[in-house]
Chain A
Amino acid sequence: MPDIKVTPLGAGQDVGRSCILVSVGGKNIMLDCGMHMGYNDDRRFPDFSYITQNGRLTDFLDCVIISHFHLDHCGALPYMSEMVGYDGPIYMTHPTKAICPILLEDFRKITVDKKGETNFFTSQMIKDCMKKVVPLNLHQTVQVDDELEIKAYYAGHVLGAAMVLIKVGSESVVYTGDYNMTPDRHLGAAWIDKCRPDILISESTYATTIRDSKRCRERDFLKKVHETIERGGKVLIPVFALGRAQELCILLETFWYRMNLKAPIYFSTGLTEKANHYYKLFITWTNQKIRKTFVQRNMFEFKHIKAFDRSYADNPGPMVVFATPGMLHAGQSLQIFKKWAGNEKNMVIMPGYCVQGTVGHKILNGQKKLEMEGRATLEVKLQVEYMSFSAHADAKGIMQLIRMAEPRNMLLVHGEAKKMEFLKDKIEQEFSISCYMPANGETTTVTTNPSVPVDISLNLLKREMALGGPLPDPKKPRTMHGTLIMKDSSLRLVSPEQALKELGLSEHQLRFTCRVHLQDPHSDSDTLSRIYSHLKSVLKGYAVQHLPDGTVMVESIVLKVSSSGEDPNLKVILLSWSYQVNVENFLATVSLFWIRVIMQL
């Protein structure tokens, strides 16, 4: 029995370094190839030695698919392709292809140039890796090879994020990557058709959360920013350069415009301007409203938001600064945080999920004293606010996606085990489908039961459909008969007659004739008439005919009466029928039974 195997190398009961291996119909696919933000050692990359101990992965993988540009989904890609070794195709959408190398380069710089690590991938490796990328368009069916096809769906979440349908024959798997089921200020909502995959592999970051309305969260956010500005404080919003940053910029930009505020908003330099440019060029990936109005007003041309310079951090007076990275684990956001942490007038707003081990995670857990490099400790006096603006589906959204795609099985990744457990129960209850949540390195096997495609001769099909009548009657299913011809790899279902003809065989007629001897004083024709009228009355619904040539036909059974020469009262009744016709075998038995009954009367 064919089955599908799924093994997470990362993101199994965890958030970070997403990397899931899928085996379906003899094809091996790697879904995402991410890094873990919480680790600085070997654990930051997935363990590729699971696939093979000796060397290159090319022979073991048919393709790699990257769902979106976040580093926990693509951060290990150059390591995998250039250092471990993989030369096959890597699929990602156009925006991902555009943005992912920039984030990888940024990641490389921080790791190698700032932290001084060696044995890391180089700029050239990123370039070489990107040469293996094949861009993917939404809804386009990409034939990876003759059997394996993939199709991308819009996932919301960030610019260019995609869910993918992987199909081999009639078996299929959907991988969501990260997705968002509610449209926001710059992106649309994830959508998939009723593709009924054998397995739906879904992220479950917010498995237990049901978020309140987005409007409330936005109002809260703006209120807090506004209050801090009013009392002369500074607001730090750590973000990743692309994604939530644009969402919050649009939010603040419109608020500043409406309230006529004057306090400066800065966006930490580097990626920003470039980032906004990508949004302008990939406007078709944003939500409908932005797409509709972009000619008149491009939402990504900000009037109030200016580029940030390091020296501005010490300027007096209120300001709002967006700085990267988002979890306060390094870089500019951490530097600014250190400067501002001592003042209770200031505020830091964490707009997204923080991985364990990062400064972001620590302060969100209420830690008031942080150990910094060296022996210094940093006292956290500024206000810490958490607002979930990350564009992941919440529990409601995940259930909604299941309703959309109607999977036969469910598999959860990219979430915490405890939360997954809760969601798993809920899914199994509500949809009565199996739900799996394998840990890293653990394989889930799902047995599929594919049907067998066959070519049916149109004549046979049409004949059957005509016989079945316009509306099928579920109480009286019709049985059709045909002959399946198996030749080489082709399977053809034709009528038995056609099969004989095609195979150059002649039909062998098998007939039965049954003689019944009875005593009956009437003439032959009278006997026949009696038999006829009785059969006619008992075999309702069947064609019973009295033919002029002195025979009675019950469907195609021929019935004749003759009397033996010696004794005119001794009648011989001959019933003759063919083996082929099923109904006749049955009718012959019935007719015989009735003839007996009649004659004994």
Chain B
Amino acid sequence: MKLYCLSGHPTLPCNVLKFKSTTIMLDCGLDTTSALYFLPLPLVHSSRLSKLPGWASKDGTVNLEKELKECAGRVFVDSQPEFCLPERELLDLSTVDVILISNYHCMMALPYITEHTGFSGTVYATEPTFQIGRLLMEELVTFMERVPKAQSATCWKNKEIQRMLPGPLKDAVDVWSWKRCYSMQEVNSALSKVQLVGYSQKVELFGAVQVTPLSSGYSLGSSNWIIQSHYEKVSYVSGSSLLTTHPQPMDQSSLKNSDVLILTGLTQIPTANPDGMLGEFCSNLAMTIRAGGNVLVPCYSSGVIYDLLECLYQFMDSANLGTTPFYFISPVANSSLEFSQIFAEWLCQNKQSKVYLPEPPFPHAELIQTNKLKHYPSIHGEFSSEFRQPCVVFTGHPSLRFGDVVHFMELWGKSSLNTIIFTEPDFSYLDALAPYQPLAMKCVYCPIDTRLNFHQVSKLLKEVQPLHVVCPEQYTQPPPAQSHRSDLMLELQPPPMAYRRCSVLGLPFRRRYERIQLQPELAKALVPSEIKPGISVATVSAVLQSKDNKHVLQPVPKPTPVPPSKKRKRLMEEVPELLSPKPLLSGSIPLDAFLASLHKSGITEVKVEETADGHILHLQAEDALIQLEEDATHIVCDNNEPLRTALRDLVLRFLQKL
């Protein structure tokens, strides 16, 4: 069993597991942090961004004025943003049989994998993951296609040139694997390969392996996966949460007894407590609104936003800010809000019971009904005429490089009355803000990451006790910025097996058994004999049938009678393989009892001679010898078939047969 690690990003994993005869890809996360190296894509023409100076090295040897622009003291790539794909050279991706998706954030690279690699397998995901994943991809494509940029910058990626660039571009890694965004057509084609599954549904793969998604508590439809055969169990834990937010709670007990547990998707901000952050979010928001400023919340279109809206729903009235409008702007805002209400089965108990009333599970339905929350596909159209200030705007993309958020940065960045509140943990907020500097607007960083922290995960691992843990190398040491915090890493016995991008790990367990079915007729015909107290054995002779990785033992068919022919021919045609087999023998032959039974069969003239290892019996009348030793018996006689058979049967009577 082997694990190929195609992504180095611990929360956006992409691993391939080879298990029995199957090749299973676990998630295909798309690392979008690479977008931070690019200039923002403004929705409305920005004179500031269009007049940036090009970059050339000081000595003038490298001139990339077309590709690179200097902005706010940093150098950015001026082209459509590119994303860092999972490694595609480590193994032949056309051999991947299935892809298991754990949550909608971890499937964004799907079109890159399923579309141009010869992939012909099936993708498994839950319905909410599939639907919301589709929305997020659609949003990403719309963001890109709305602001087409013909230029594609590649010169800077040249190793010789990149070396000469100023940081942080100089230090960007794997730049050749960066790709532009896919098209909607590719998204649709990729998603057509998805097969929907439900929690605790057992999915058979080629009869060899069974995979099962389990609730992971992180987002709508998010799952961990169990990959198992009858004897081996691998747990794949990705983005899980033990906090009570909207999704169904995490199923922990089903992870027990794993041989290997692959652990990814822990919190990216281990030092921030989500509840505290939520409080800070609300108080900063209220402060800004009260002062007459606007609040900008860069966010994904699904996920924490549901919790933020619910929290604000309760908070705004009590803070006496009930009239402040909320705007949610995204090409998929409406769909996201609508979809969130129809997945009752995937929600926590509390929300689930609401649909029995029947009421929508999320209170944002009420916010919409009372016109407190309005959603728009973009800043163009209705929004521009309807929007009122001060207000709160939720919009993407959290990288601040594309999407409607770019416009609000340009619009509100110059006023210190306004505040931008970062809640998504995926991007460094300083890097995100870099091309907008200098900024007058206030910046508040309250990352809300509900995924497991190190304390929770070590408790979880103690509970479920996997034999081996595999995790990204980042989890085996404290974060670089807090190198003294040994509590912010995994400390396990035995130590976890760490991987990085392009690692290939041999997983430490050996398969010993396989399940086989004995047909009832065969089982009935077995003759068990007790060898030791409580242990019986039976010799099994059967025909093995293997089909679709399922094995069945059938009784040996009776040989069809051979039509009589010449003796010689018949002798050769009897298929020896069909003769009954000879079992292995064990035990030893007690001399006296053996002599007695010889006597009983009419063999009376026996001369016993002692040897170093046992005895030699001379059967004088029959002119035969029997050599008896502890672990061996040798019958020597002339060509006298009946005698040999008789002696053999006598000997066998004293031995155990296996």
Contact = CB atoms under 8 A, between A and B. Distances in A.
A422 interface: no
A454 B517 contact: yes
B540 A507 contact: no
A512 B200 contact: no
A141 B198 CA distance: 9
6 contacts: A274-B358, A281-B342, A455-B230, A455-B515, A513-B635, A582-B580
B430 interface: no
A258 interface: no
A266 B578 CA distance: 79
A512 B635 contact: yes
A88 interface: no
A453 B230 CA distance: 11
A510 B635 contact: yes
Which of the listed residues A455, A456, A581, A583 has the most CB atoms from chain B within 10 Å of its own CB? Answer: A456
Interface in A115-142: 135, 137-142
Interface residues of B, number: 91
A480 B341 contact: no
Contacts of A278: 355, 358
A515 interface: yes
Interface in A563-601: 579-583, 585-587, 590, 592-593
Contact of B534 (A98, A274, A488): A488
B540 A481 contact: yes
A548 interface: no
Interface string B638-649: 110000100010
Secondary structure dominating the interface of A: mixed
A499 interface: yes
B32 interface: no
B545 interface: yes
Interface stretch (A31-39, A66-74, A489-497): A489-497
B304 interface: no
Contacts of A593: 571
B518 interface: yes
Contacts of A455: 230-231, 513-516
B654 to A, nearest CB: 9
Contact of B339 (A151, A295, A472): A295
Interface in B139-169: none
Contact of A452 (B199, B523, B536, B644): B523
Nearest to A485: B537
B544 interface: yes
Contacts of B292: none
A510 B513 contact: no
Interface in B398-433: none
B584 A580 contact: yes
Interface stretch (B108-116, B170-178, B497-505, B549-557): B549-557
Contact of B544 (A476, A480, A581): A480
B581 A453 contact: no
Nearest to B520: A449
A384 B506 CA distance: 75
Given A138-B198, A479-B577, A284 B342 contact: yes
Contact of B512 (A141, A274, A457, A464): A457
B652 to A, nearest CB: 8
Contact of A509 (B511, B553, B633, B648): B633
Contacts of B544: 461, 464-465, 468, 478, 480
Given A282-B342, A508-B655, A472 B546 contact: yes
Contacts of A587: 576
A543 to B, nearest CB: 13
A512 B644 contact: yes
Nearest to B577: A479
Given A98-B356, A515-B638, A581-B582, A484 B537 contact: yes
B615 to A, nearest CB: 15
Contacts of B651: 510
B244 interface: no
A479 B578 contact: yes
A142 B248 CA distance: 16
Contacts of A277: 358
The list of the 10 closest CB pairs from A to B, nearest first, reads A496-B584, A509-B632, A451-B517, A505-B586, A508-B585, A477-B543, A456-B516, A513-B636, A452-B518, A455-B513
B355 A510 contact: no
Interface string B507-544: 00001111111111001001010011011111111111
B539 A496 contact: yes
B122 interface: no
A278 B542 CA distance: 57
A294 to B, nearest CB: 7
A130 to B, nearest CB: 9
A580 B511 CA distance: 29
Q: Is the interface of B mostly helix, strand, loop or mixed?
A: mixed
A94 B534 contact: no
A284 B344 CA distance: 10
A483 interface: yes
Given A135-B345, A481-B581, A513 B634 contact: yes
B658 interface: yes
Interface in A67-113: 94, 97-98
Contacts of B127: 284
A508 B588 contact: yes
B526 A283 contact: no
A100 B575 CA distance: 67
A462 to B, nearest CB: 9
A493 B516 contact: yes
Contact of A508 (B523, B536, B586, B644): B586
A497 B648 contact: no
Contact of B344 (A282, A449, A454, A483): A282
A392 B586 CA distance: 65
A88 B20 CA distance: 40
A153 B635 CA distance: 66
B202 interface: yes
A486 interface: yes
Given A94-B344, A483-B584, 12 more contacts: A137-B198, A284-B343, A452-B523, A458-B514, A484-B538, A486-B536, A509-B585, A509-B634, A510-B633, A510-B651, A513-B637, A587-B576
Given A477-B557, A480-B544, A503-B532, A453 B658 contact: no
A137 B338 CA distance: 21
B656 interface: yes
Contacts of A282: 342, 344, 355
B438 interface: no
A311 interface: no
Nearest to B637: A514
Contacts of A144: none
A283 B571 contact: no
B198 A480 contact: no
Given A140-B199, A451-B519, A507 B551 contact: no
A580 B585 contact: yes
A215 to B, nearest CB: 28
B633 A508 contact: yes
Contacts of A418: none
Interface in B182-216: 197-202, 212
Interface in A404-447: none
B200 A590 contact: no
A593 B639 CA distance: 11
Interface in A215-270: none
A511 interface: yes
B331 to A, nearest CB: 12
Contacts of B513: 455-458, 492
A517 interface: yes
B343 A480 contact: no
A412 B538 CA distance: 43
B583 interface: yes
B477 interface: no
A295 B658 contact: no
Contacts of B631: 506-509
Nearest to A579: B582
B342 A283 contact: yes
